[in-house]
Amino acid sequence: MITRRDALLGGLALPLFGGLLGQAAFSQQYFTRDGVALRGYDPVAYFITGTPQSGDEAFAAEWGGTVWHFTSAQNRDLFLNAPESYAPQYGGYCAWAVSEGYTAPIDPDAWRIVEGKLYLNASRRIQNRWERDISGHIARADANWPVLRAGL
C-alpha cells in the first residue's frame, strides 16, 4: 500500500532520478517513453474499441510537441481532427499522482474514460485507489495540474 508519505517522497524522487529513467521524458507537456506519448499506445483506441492497443509508428503523427502512434490511418486522422478529444488528461501522467501533487509515469492498461476524457494511472493498483473517489481526485488533479505542468 502506498502511503501519502511514500507518494510525496516518490514525487520528490522523480525529478531527482528522472535522468536515471533514461527512456522517460519529464520535461515536456506530455509524458513520453522513447520519445512517444502513451508508451506508443493509440489514444483513439481507448474510445473506439474500449481497449488499450499498441500503435504503429507507420501511423505516427506529431501534436503538442509530441509523437503519437496509432493503430490505423483512420485513428490518426480522428486524433488530428480533434486532438483535445482524445489526448489523455494531465499530459498523460498518472491521474492519481497529479491529484496528490506530483507526476508519475503510467501503465497504458490502467485507464478509464470519465465524462468523455481519458485518464491514466501508474498501475491497476493505483487505479483502484483513484476509483474510490474519482470526482475528488479529478478535482484535486485539475487544481494541481497547472502548477505541475509549469514545472515540467
| pLDDT on residue 28 | 52
Using 50, 70 and 90 to split pLDDT, how confident is the model at 5? very low
Between CA 84 and CA 78 the distance in angstroms is 11
Closest to 106 (Cα-Cα) out of 115, 64, 118: 118
Burial bucket for residue 107 (CB in 10 Å: 0-12, 13-18, 19+): middle
Alpha helix stretches (DSSP H) within the chain: 4-17, 43-48, 73-81, 83-86, 95-100, 124-131, 134-150
Q: Which residues pair with 107 in a beta bridge?
A: 121
102, three cell numbers? 506530483
Decide which of 83 and 5 is more confident. 83
Greater confidence (102 vs 27) lies with 102
Mean pLDDT confidence for 26-55: 88
pTM of the entire structure? 0.81
CA angle 117/119/120 to nearest 5° reads 155
Smallest CA-to-CA distance from 30 within 2, 66, 55 is with 66
Q: What is the mean pLDDT of residues 135-149?
A: 96
